[in-house]
Every structure is written in C-alpha cells, then in structure tokens.
Amino acid sequence: MTPRPDPSRHSHTGHGQERPLRRRSGSDQDLIADLRRLDGRNYGAYKSVTGDWDYGDFSLAIDRVQSDPYAPPSSLRALADPRRMGVPADCLATPDQRLAVADYLLRAFHEALGAYAPSGDVHIARAGQEILQRSACTVDPERVEVRFQVRMPAHGRTIQGGAAARLFDLDVPDTVMATFDFVSEDAGERVEALRRHVHALEDHRALQEALAQRGWIAFVADGAVLARRSGISQKPLEEAVPFASPDTLRQRLTLPHAGAVTGMALEPGVTVIVGGGYHGKSTLLGALQRGVYPHVPGDGRELVATVPEAMKIRAADGRAVSEVDVSAFITHLPGGADTTHFSTENASGSTSQAASLVEAVELGSQLLLIDEDTSATNLLIRDARMRELVHADKEPITPLVDRIGGLARERGVSTVLVMGGSGDYLDVADRVLMMDTYRCLDVSARAREVCAAMPRQRSDIQGFDEVGARTPLRARGGAERPKTKAQGLDQVVLDRQTVDISDVEQVVDPGQSEAIAWAMRGLLEEVFDGHTTLGEGLDRIEALLREQGLDGLTRFGAREYPAFLVRPRRVDLGAALNRYRALRLA
C-alpha cells in the first residue's frame, strides 16, 4: 500500500484538526478529582482530562474530548487483559474466536448501559443479528479494547464537574466492569453465553467450509427459523414454521459444536423457487442472502450458510453504470449505444439489473440470488408470443432465461431465482423447489413432466462469455473540504457525490457503509492508478483489513480510533464503487 498520506490534506467534516494535546495519566481517583475541580469552568477546560487513567481492573483512554456540548460526544476506550477478565482460553485461541468475543462484548456493553448508565450520556455502536468484525471492540490474545462515547455534562457551556465525576466514578466503570467480568461468582452464565456466541461463529465457518469442500452453494438446516418478525425487524418470527428440507436434498454433516445436523444442501447450477404468493419464497431467498454472515445464537438462521461471495441482484433504476459489458443482455439499443462498454447516469430497471449481474460476475461472485419481487420482468422473461410479436432485432433485451444456463455451465456462476409468475425457467432449472405453506418441496421431477407435456415453443438459449476486468482511473481527490460519510444502509457520500447503495442488500450494518465510504476514498485516490483492476484493488483493501483490521482505513483519512466501522464484504465494496457516478475507467 502507498504510505499514509499527509494528514493535513484530510480535514474531513467533523474531523477538524485539533492540536494534539499532551496526554495525561493517573489513577481513576485523579481523574475524578480533576473533574470535580473543573466544575463551573468553561467547557473547553474538559480537554485537560485527555489521557490514560488506571482503574485497576481496566484502563480508560480518553482520546478526544468534544470541544462544546453540542459537538459529537467524546471518544473513549476501555482496555483490559482478557485473561485477567476471565475470558476462557478456548475463546481466545483463534482470530475467529476473538472476533466473536469482540462482537459479544460490544453487545454486552450496550446492554450494561441500560442498567448502569441510565443518564444516556454514554453510547456505543449498536449491533444487529450478524456476528461481524467491528471497530468498536477488538480482542487480541492479551488485550481487549472497547470504544465508546461519552457526552461530557454541562449547564449551557459551563462544566458540571459533579455530574462528570459521577459519570466516571459510577456509570462508566460499572458499565465496563459489567461487560468485562467473567470471573466473579455469578459470571458463570455469562461465560456460557460468550461460549455460545463463539460456537455460533465457528459452526457457521465450518458450514461455509463444508460448502467449499462438498461443492455446495448453500445449506439450510432442518429446524432453522427463516421468517422475520416484520419487514423492519430482523428478529425471528416467534410462531414461524421451522424449515424442513425436502428428503431428496437432505444431507447430513457434523459441526464442531452443534454436532450432527441435517438440512437442505443446494448444488451448483440453476435453482428456481416456485410457489403461490405469500407461501414463503422470498423469505427463503432472504435467509440465503443473509447466510453469507454468521448469526447470533437465537436468531434462527445460525445454521444457514451460503458461499461467502453470494450476491443479491435486483433492479435499481436510476443507478449509474460505468463501461460495463452488458451485451449478454442488452444489444443494439435504439440510440445505437455500444453495450459492450455501456455507461449511463440513469439506468432503466432492466439495464440496472443487467449491469449489477455482470458486475457481480466480474467480481467473482459464485452465486447470484434473484427475486421476481425486486426484478425487472423484461430482464427475466419474454414469452413465446412476445418473441413472435417483437422480433429479436427490435428487442434489445436477451432475457436472463436465455443466459442463466450458460452462466452456470460456462462461467460456473450459480443462481437461485424466485419465480412464481412464469414457467419459463422450469426447463432451464437444474432443480425446482416449491414453497407450499412454508414447506419446502423438491418438485424437480414434476417440473420435468410439465415441461415434457408443454414444451417450450421457441428457444433462444445462448452461452455466457467471459466478463473482462475493468481498470478504474485514479480520482482527482484533494477537495477543499473533503467529506467522507455514510447514511445508514442506503448512502455513501464522497465529497459532492452521493452513492446510492440501497440496492446492495447485503450491506446489513450502517458501519459497513461507513467502512465502504473510507475504503472507496482510498481506492479511488490511492490504489487505482490506471493499471490495477477493480478486483485487484478490492484485494488490496482485503489485505489491508486482514493485516491491520478496520483501523487500517485511518490511512485514508478516517479519524484515529474509529468506533463505528464494520467490515464490509469485498463484493459489496465493489458494488458500491460500481455505483459511484464519477467512476472512470482506463
């Protein structure tokens, strides 16, 4: 990687250059006495407690103090030795175990806040249903670090020293100790909960390992709960019908912790999910798309796994497309545009989905997940009558049904497609699943009979050529007031460009969007040079994250000790870049 750029170039929004303060150090009692002494002084005087404070069982780093009461809260870290905390050795031995412990501790801290810091002045990043690598908490063999924020109390702009002293005498240490304590007498249950968390991650990793070894693309365990509580909640639906594999697809495997499990194993190729409306098709596909991530114990999808780079592909009209070869799907457009290097600032439903699909193949995704609910119909199907009425040379679109088999056989890219509204895919499918009142049936044999009885009237089935690698150019950068941020799951902002990533559905945590924003800045301004392909650039970011963790992104200007970053998947970072309107290619 190129060396860390001159930090003076990066005065990102809210990251104003603050004169480095001398860090102080002392005991917790020194800190508390100091805070009392600050009572009644101007808010700026809080900066004097920047430093490292020894609480005995842990140490507290106050890294950055907010400059006024309305600024973003102050940044802190609590540090301790996991062995002294009582974290069992069998939870610290591997990077995966430590990742799961970190994810657990973040959740525990959040929960402890409710009990020990009712003032609401202490905050930490929130976590959803997935176990992910997060900058808010990291665990090394000898060190646990939790990053959180404290709003320093004030009356107007006057320091409330007594309230601050109470925060640092009670709320903060009580929360930290409730999070870090795995040794005291009543900690037994917490040790067990921690172990379950570690085991959930390890079993999911083992499942993905099994997929690779046995050549499957997905596994859904018998008994898994796939349905979610609501359209806006990822919590499990309580009265859901548990998943049961069709007998024909049931496989058995042994996991390190769950032991022997059975479930539905999907082989590569084309899998079509059919069934009546409201019978659970999209729910199954949704579980597969989240199956790239491990889930917390109790989620219901702990033993659902898909190949790691599986990508949900949907229509997103209005997205930008930069020089993508969409000719497999789109040719001779009315204006005569070259569709082997297709660019647009405003894609239609079908061109957007075609571009997203080709981009996923370019990035090396092995599995595409497509739902009729979120697709452009004209990209998916064209029936015999329409093929008769509108001649091929007048119709720019080659529907996916003509390419999906070639994609699997020639490019090794499998598809799971939800399609309840058309039988066109039945004879290109390697297997057909039917959802029937939330039961999953293998209707492949019956589908073959139907196809034999009602053969396709016309066939335009074609192959799928290799997708070339694109090589982005370096972006100018050096904006006067660089801005790098994310808004929830839907947007990334780089200077004046807003990138809509709402259709990149496997970005599941706002911290992933934020990490994507910083990684995009790094890729565009420092990694891409007109010779490095998109895929190679993404590999460089993967290597950086592997070696340095999410803190590696600070080299692109993210503030030191970032507390809200979550590791995105390589392919999702690629998808975000592909939606960047100013992307230029060599």
Residue whose C-alpha is closest to residue 179's, from 117, 94, 90:
117
- The residue behind tokens 């959803």 is 128
Site string for ligand ADP, 380-419 (x = CB under 6 A): ----------------------------------------
Cα separation, 312 vs 416, in Å, equals 10
441 binds ligand ADP (CB under 6 A): no
Residue 531: CB atoms within 10 A of its CB come to 9
Cα separation, 317 vs 314, in Å, equals 10
Q: Which of 269, 275, 300, 552 binds ligand ADP (CB under 6 A)?
A: 275
Site string for Mg ion, 263-282 (x = CB under 5 A): ------------------xx
- The residue behind tokens 């999911």 is 204
- Chain Cα centroid distance, residue 99: 15
- In the complex, minimum distance from the CB of residue 478 to Mg ion, in angstroms, rounded to a whole number: 46
Task: Tell me the three state secondary structure of residue 378.
Answer: helix
Between 271 and 282, whose beta carbon lies closer to Mg ion? Answer: 282
Between 302 and 525, whose beta carbon lies closer to ligand ADP? Answer: 302
374 binds ligand ADP (CB under 6 A): no
Q: Which of 283, 348, 398, 414 binds ligand ADP (CB under 6 A)?
A: 283
Between 241 and 337, whose beta carbon lies closer to ligand ADP? Answer: 241
Strand 304-306 relative to strand 218-221, pairing: antiparallel
- In the complex, minimum distance from the CB of residue 375 to Mg ion, in angstroms, rounded to a whole number: 11
Helices (H), 251-342: 281-290
234 binds ligand ADP (CB under 6 A): no
Cα separation, 43 vs 412, in Å, equals 62
Task: Tell me the three state secondary structure of residue 383.
Answer: coil
435 binds ligand ADP (CB under 6 A): yes
Residue whose C-alpha is closest to residue 373's, from 278, 494, 468, 292:
278
175 binds Mg ion (CB under 5 A): no
179 binds Mg ion (CB under 5 A): no
Q: Which of 215, 259, 277, 334 binds ligand ADP (CB under 6 A)?
A: 277
449 binds Mg ion (CB under 5 A): no
- In the complex, minimum distance from the CB of residue 528 to Mg ion, in angstroms, rounded to a whole number: 38
240 binds ligand ADP (CB under 6 A): yes
Site string for ligand ADP, 288-327 (x = CB under 6 A): ----------------------------------------
Helix (H) / strand (E) element for 220: namely: strand 218-221
> Which 8-state DSSP code applies to residue 527?
I
Vertex 250 angle, CA 247 and 252, to 5°: 140
- In the complex, minimum distance from the CB of residue 135 to ligand ADP, in angstroms, rounded to a whole number: 33
Tell me the number of residues near ligand ADP by CB under 6 A. Answer: 15
- Answer yes or no: are the C-beta atoms of 179 and 173 closer than 8 Å: no
373 binds Mg ion (CB under 5 A): yes
Residue 354: CB atoms within 10 A of its CB come to 30
38 binds ligand ADP (CB under 6 A): no
Residues that bind Mg ion (CB under 5 A): 281-282, 373
Residues that bind ligand ADP (CB under 6 A): 226-227, 237, 240-241, 275, 277-283, 435, 438
